[in-house]
Structure 1
């Protein structure tokens, strides 16, 4: 077997993926070179939680056992670390010794003492175990259990496979993967069914005496080769453990049978403890002379009762014939099949070759029973041999009848199935689990694009995926997500309608899969903006909608009809699953993204989303919950998508959701990277209020929108903050902010901006930063012209202007108690800077605009503000229905 080498260093920086924790002995043993090397020699055990290797320290030559556990998420790692926390505190002769652990990126290596004799399960496979030998092992196991229970630990998975033997045949309790601390009763369903106590089976919780029941099952397993009720299927075995009484075989001694019955006491309060069982007569008895064995039964129970016991194995039938005779009957396809006799007396090759012959001739009547018994009693040994001698090819000779057998017993052998040519039959396979497993297996050896093309040609693939999703099949989830991004796989109306009919409400994982798949499909079809990104500035609104004020006529605006490939009622269906902000983050993100992909530029859908109101409320919750952590990748992503859709929704507002929309905009204004979007949402809210003729007033602190019976406050400081914040996408922002400042409700905002002590410094720094962008310089000059014009109009030196409300004049006077020369100085400082900024002598590297006619005209218009005064305030439109003031020279 190839040797794997595991290398790690004891001291690692925080940024590295490897984490090492070793006992002092292990650190000392390999201190040279400050590096540990372990070579993984061979697999010595497999379980539900990982694989155990025999390993060797390449420096010291000492052997250890290394349990390798694969994990994907931090929660899984935390669960496995519980096993380590238990092991490192347990020190007893009969508990496997813990040496440390190594954590790499997605693997956890637990270092344990190597038990060279293997497990008791390995021991009983070699042949029967006598009672005296069994007692030795059980006594040591009881000592280990007594120590565990005194430490407050329940093992919860006592069985022969978890009882190891070291080189001196000392029992070591191992595999604490499902163990737990005692807290009244552990309520988790864990352990192996045939060894499980009835109270655990019924969900009543595990206690320390639950391990005693498992110990009794282990005694039966060691002495008979199998645990109680091993010949029953899972459901039948569970029922028997809870409701039936197990009758130990009569060839066991009476004291042994009494010990087993003591362990199998169904009343947990009457079941013996580990300490009490250590004094049981079977454990404490010594070896008897050979002749005394014949007297033992007379001292026990009445022998006549032995004739009343019946074994009710469903496989047993009439067992008067030998196993070889039963195998002959099986080969002749007889109606009678006795797996327990066949496996008990016949060699494995004869059994496997018989099954291959039966499959080749299509005689499949008893194949399932034989594989079922093999799985329960022989750990799949016959199946492995069956595969090696050509059994899969024999099954494929009759793919229709054998399909259910393949699905039930060979799903973990998809590579062998593919090698034997099963792919040619995929179009006719009706079992969804088999088809999906084959497709996923084929995808591992084929280029992704070619695999998608192959899947798309299967006429039954959609039906298999839908059935798999309905049954919550993990591979079906994986397959739908993988195919949804393939150009060759079309998600049409019928498939979408079928996805809508799945039980999504009761299964959040299924909702996530469906939402994510539809998102991938919609983005592939380029319905969403091709420049869409998850950071603002990369994610632009389309001009037709983003620049359209709500107050103008809609006749010349393109109407975006509902997507033709969505079935009727899709949007209503989607909105019924509106999550809460505290739900699974992945689910919330995909719901938000799906709403955007469906509603983007579609006024019909946008109107439906607004009327429902759920998305606006969710966006409000998200910005409240995630606003402080907006720099993380997930938060930026979800808030960016939500904000971009809110921007479009704000153009389709209705009165009942105006307060929520304004609250959303104000919260986004507090985050520098989202100022542009927040400003645009607020702009649309003001336009809606003006269109609906709501009364809008101002005071010294806020702009007040009187909406029906409520008053919505928009703090002036919040608007002022947007201009003086560190807005990274100034080019997008300034055009939105200029339109906002041009609105009548924001008429005194210009005074606040110009009166700010940082106004001149901000102006100079912006022209310096964007000296290489002609468009941004022109947009900023237009903005300066607008606010400086309003600044002149609203200075206290112009009280004769009757168009200015008295309250605004008072507010301006309070905020700017200066004389006219100071106001003139502000304007003159701006004009002097503009005149010098593009002079040939002051040009900086990469500066543009010195020869721009439009820049010169805008600078000249601003210069006129110093030498002219507003004689009358006429109104004109700038082409976008925004009212801006006009100056007339004297």
Structure 2
């Protein structure tokens, strides 16, 4: 692979423009997940640069790293690290950047503490850089002290854009460093520009204290704390600084300030104060210095009891006694403290234990809890599971595996602490197989309360637990749980709506050993959309459903109340459609309620309109595939008020080749309903018109004609539905449209060739030909001239149905059929030459050419076909 060089003019040199090796790499100045950063010197100019060396194996990796270059080369700001170019070699990419001699702010705080004045100066420059980035539509996504560099003049430079992205692209990936990461990113909701503001708040804490928030927790615990807990800034910081940090840690992204808002914050504009000035006493001080000290209660009876470790432990042991955690931790060894706490746990006196663990977590990094675990304290806690719930839920939720090892499972049926219970359920599910876990959950008397309360508290583990259990055949779903689920408020919470819709679908779906597609959906439908049991090979295309799940009264009303729009979350829309199908399928009462509401039909119609526009996505197609199966059933329960929208849905499906069969059947049911209701049905040159209650529904004949000449993927199912449609009185002139089309003979021959190995489809197609040719001879004009437009012929045929004794098209069809099954013309795999039914149908079509019209009423067979008069010998 040739070396590729792209440098800014400042880095180019006339005598070395073709030389790739005019940089000398010096020492390593940084390491990251994507490469190593070196200090380098340009041999020609002696200028220093930083070179980020990235190793890559595939072209896709290279493209990802080039995104960083595309971002950097367009960014020009005092507080953004300068980009000088790149050099690409065999499997290495060298990115040339501005060299910042003072290192990063992370290096700075390692050398000693940074006071608020200096921190404020660094953060103000960082905010200016962020304001510029956000104005350019860029999210940094990894703001922390290690990525804030200092040049010779102590100017802050934002660096490391490896995980940055633009606002106009979905920043849904989990990128960044966990302790600096915003909760919305942690929960997978995507990053925004204010996600950088949260990271900035963590960076302020890092600079001032040496570590980011929750640094003493492992990754999972830190993530949980960021999402669920409130971080309290150290009281050693000024009140204005703490307000600034709390503003950065606003969990509501819509209320979190922007970079410009923070530049106007009081802390940013506080006048610079000499280091010793803040210690000056004065009445004007807004800080109460007394709160900077921990109160120590000294006994008046013993002058030196503060330094008596045993006395402090004795006070800790006394129920309801006064003790000072600060003194205990400073005067007593950890082993003695942990042993004392274990003793209290065995006695069930947990109030003091909770207070000690609280202090330990806040100020000691959990060292006492770790010793407590090492000495076997958890079994002591479990001896009094009721009172211990609070302690376990607050301090041991990240040690669930240890709780399980120590025997908490038999006590789980008594636990009321929702988050603790969900953590145990989730952890146990990761340890054992799915069947064992499901049966264990089923045995818990408090499982329903835990799930419902967890959903109310928006606990992710509650969502995961419900979704998992809903798919398990070993977990019985009672009507009471369904009633409690549908009682939860859903309208403003897409995540909860998705979880409940999805879980209810899993409850209602029948599980089988094999999934097969329905008559109307394309083969691209996923296995999870429809799960049915095959009956036998003879009826392989028939969907078989087992006994329905009983639904509580009012379920359909509840479901329709939350009918989404086509613009709502796609996952919610898809699961709503599935739930309507699972709840309404084969239930005429439920189908009638869905039709009467109308929301499902309107939603399907809107999805069809969007699919025919710019939204031809596979996901939308999958939703339409599921909706089609229910719409076919709804069409059988249609009423006059919903007839128009049902016809619109049918016509929408006719525009999509894979769904033509279902659309045809929906339209057929609409015509049957209109005939049954004695609606006035007429035709003009373009449409079939259904008139009722001063309303007119137009069904373009070209839409029906197009279905026959489309590439229908399931012709065997389609032709039976289309034959029934053509046999209805409203479609009496459709035969003329089909037969008059110049591609009629070509299409006929092609279909017999494609389906030459299917006897059933050939017979069904011959029945169709017999029907439309019979209609054609009944309604076509006597004289057929090629120079007369089709619409004129149709107009004449509709207004003056003159009998036709013969035509070239009919002769061509008869001639083709008479030779198609001749022994000398049989093609490979062709069947039907010995079929009596095929011979009879061909004979019936042949009689049409010689049949003279009778003035008497025509005789019809059981399928509605006209029976030709016998030919005179």
Deviation at 1:563, TM superposition (A): 5.5
Deviation at 1:710, TM superposition (A): 0.9
Work out which of the residue numbers 379, 390, 393 in structure 2 matches 1:393: 379
Kept in 2, the 8 Å contact 1:360–1:395? The answer is yes
Work out which of the residue numbers 318, 329, 341 in structure 1 matches 2:297: 318
Equivalent residue for 1:651?
636
Deviation at 1:733, TM superposition (A): 0.6
Which shifted more, 771-780 or 529-538? 529-538
Work out which of the residue numbers 122, 134, 154 in structure 2 matches 1:141: 122
Deviation at 1:149, TM superposition (A): 7.3
CA distance in 2, matches of 1:158, 1:346: 41
CA distance in 1, matches of 2:401, 2:468: 20
Work out which of the residue numbers 824, 827, 832 in structure 1 matches 2:815: 832
CA distance in 1, matches of 2:531, 2:775: 30
Equivalent residue for 1:452?
438
Kept in 1, the 8 Å contact 2:763–2:837? The answer is yes
Equivalent residue for 2:723?
738
Work out which of the residue numbers 352, 376, 395 in structure 2 matches 1:409: 395
Match of 2:866, SS state, is strand
CA distance in 1, matches of 2:469, 2:195: 47
Kept in 1, the 8 Å contact 2:777–2:804? The answer is no
Deviation at 1:425, TM superposition (A): 1.6
Kept in 2, the 8 Å contact 1:166–1:172? The answer is yes
**CA offset digits 1:93-118 (Å, max 9, x no partner):** 99899999xxxxxxxxxx99997995
Equivalent residue for 1:479?
465
CA distance in 1, matches of 2:532, 2:142: 63
Equivalent residue for 2:341?
355
* Structure 1 residues 437 and 142: CA distance shift in structure 2, 3 A: closer
Match of 1:885, SS state, is coil
* Structure 1 residues 434 and 85: CA distance shift in structure 2, 3 A: farther
Q: Does 1:852 align with 2:843?
A: no
Work out which of the residue numbers 747, 758, 761 in structure 1 matches 2:743: 758
Kept in 2, the 8 Å contact 1:515–1:591? The answer is yes
* Structure 1 residues 492 and 731: CA distance shift in structure 2, 3 A: same
* Structure 1 residues 418 and 210: CA distance shift in structure 2, 3 A: closer
* Structure 1 residues 569 and 123: CA distance shift in structure 2, 3 A: farther
Deviation at 1:335, TM superposition (A): 2.2
Number of residue pairs matched?
742
**CA offset digits 1:290-320 (Å, max 9, x no partner):** xxx9xx99xx856799999463589746368
Deviation at 1:457, TM superposition (A): 1.9
Query: Could you list the runs of 5+ residues in structure 2 that have no partner in the other structure?
Result: 12-18, 21-29, 41-49, 55-63, 87-96, 168-176, 181-192, 216-227, 244-260, 300-304, 534-544, 785-790
CA distance in 2, matches of 1:120, 1:346: 35
CA distance in 2, matches of 1:615, 1:580: 10
Match of 2:492, SS state, is coil
Kept in 2, the 8 Å contact 1:877–1:884? The answer is yes
* Structure 1 residues 588 and 877: CA distance shift in structure 2, 3 A: farther
Deviation at 1:141, TM superposition (A): 3.2
Deviation at 1:725, TM superposition (A): 0.8
Kept in 2, the 8 Å contact 1:771–1:777? The answer is yes
CA distance in 2, matches of 1:831, 1:158: 76
* Structure 1 residues 440 and 174: CA distance shift in structure 2, 3 A: farther
Deviation at 1:147, TM superposition (A): 6.5
CA distance in 1, matches of 2:436, 2:627: 36
Deviation at 1:387, TM superposition (A): 3.2
Normalising by structure 1, we get a TM-score of: 0.69
Which shifted more, 708-717 or 140-149? 140-149
Deviation at 1:489, TM superposition (A): 0.8
Match of 1:514, SS state, is helix
Kept in 1, the 8 Å contact 2:847–2:868? The answer is no
* Structure 1 residues 688 and 208: CA distance shift in structure 2, 3 A: closer
Kept in 2, the 8 Å contact 1:839–1:850? The answer is yes
Q: Does 1:715 align with 2:737?
A: no
**CA offset digits 1:307-356 (Å, max 9, x no partner):** 99463589746368647648524542462233344445655555444434
CA distance in 2, matches of 1:313, 1:135: 16
CA distance in 2, matches of 1:579, 1:757: 45
CA distance in 2, matches of 1:676, 1:493: 37
Kept in 2, the 8 Å contact 1:94–1:170? The answer is no
Q: Does 1:580 align with 2:561?
A: no
Equivalent residue for 1:443?
429
CA distance in 2, matches of 1:137, 1:410: 38
Q: Compute the RMSD of aligned alpha carbons.
A: 5.8
Q: Does 1:792 align with 2:777?
A: yes
**CA offset digits 1:594-631 (Å, max 9, x no partner):** 11111111111111111111111111111111234686
Deviation at 1:247, TM superposition (A): 12
Kept in 2, the 8 Å contact 1:465–1:476? The answer is yes
CA distance in 2, matches of 1:146, 1:655: 63
Q: Does 1:866 align with 2:858?
A: no
**CA offset digits 1:36-93 (Å, max 9, x no partner):** xxxxxx9x9xxxxxxx8798699x9xx99999xxxxxxxxxx9xx9999689958879
Match of 1:318, SS state, is coil
CA distance in 2, matches of 1:761, 1:857: 23
Match of 2:682, SS state, is strand
Match of 1:713, SS state, is strand
Match of 2:696, SS state, is strand
Kept in 1, the 8 Å contact 2:650–2:666? The answer is yes
Kept in 2, the 8 Å contact 1:96–1:174? The answer is no
Deviation at 1:506, TM superposition (A): 3.2
Query: Could you list the runs of 5+ residues in structure 1 that have no partner in the other structure?
Result: 1-8, 12-20, 26-30, 33-41, 45-51, 68-77, 101-110, 183-189, 194-204, 228-232, 249-265, 284-292, 543-559, 800-806
Kept in 1, the 8 Å contact 2:470–2:507? The answer is yes
Which shifted more, 304-313 or 384-393? 304-313
Alignment of 1:55-74 (within 5 A): none
Work out which of the residue numbers 828, 845, 868 in structure 2 matches 1:887: 868
Match of 1:696, SS state, is strand
* Structure 1 residues 646 and 540: CA distance shift in structure 2, 3 A: farther
Work out which of the residue numbers 593, 618, 623 in structure 2 matches 1:633: 618
Equivalent residue for 1:522?
508
* Structure 1 residues 319 and 627: CA distance shift in structure 2, 3 A: farther
Match of 1:714, SS state, is strand
Match of 2:431, SS state, is coil
Kept in 2, the 8 Å contact 1:134–1:222? The answer is no
Deviation at 1:237, TM superposition (A): 5.5
Deviation at 1:665, TM superposition (A): 0.8
Deviation at 1:540, TM superposition (A): 12
Alignment of 1:484-503 (within 5 A): 484-503=470-489
CA distance in 2, matches of 1:329, 1:96: 63
Equivalent residue for 2:734?
749
Deviation at 1:270, TM superposition (A): 8.6
Q: Does 1:589 align with 2:574?
A: yes
Q: Does 1:512 align with 2:498?
A: yes
Kept in 2, the 8 Å contact 1:156–1:206? The answer is no
* Structure 1 residues 540 and 160: CA distance shift in structure 2, 3 A: closer
Q: Does 1:433 align with 2:416?
A: no
Deviation at 1:445, TM superposition (A): 1.7
Kept in 1, the 8 Å contact 2:80–2:158? The answer is no
Kept in 1, the 8 Å contact 2:313–2:328? The answer is no
**CA offset digits 1:752-791 (Å, max 9, x no partner):** 1111100000000000000011000000000000111111
* Structure 1 residues 535 and 346: CA distance shift in structure 2, 3 A: farther
Deviation at 1:829, TM superposition (A): 1.1
CA distance in 2, matches of 1:877, 1:314: 104
* Structure 1 residues 876 and 472: CA distance shift in structure 2, 3 A: farther
* Structure 1 residues 10 and 323: CA distance shift in structure 2, 3 A: farther
Deviation at 1:857, TM superposition (A): 0.4
CA distance in 2, matches of 1:267, 1:722: 62
Equivalent residue for 1:683?
668
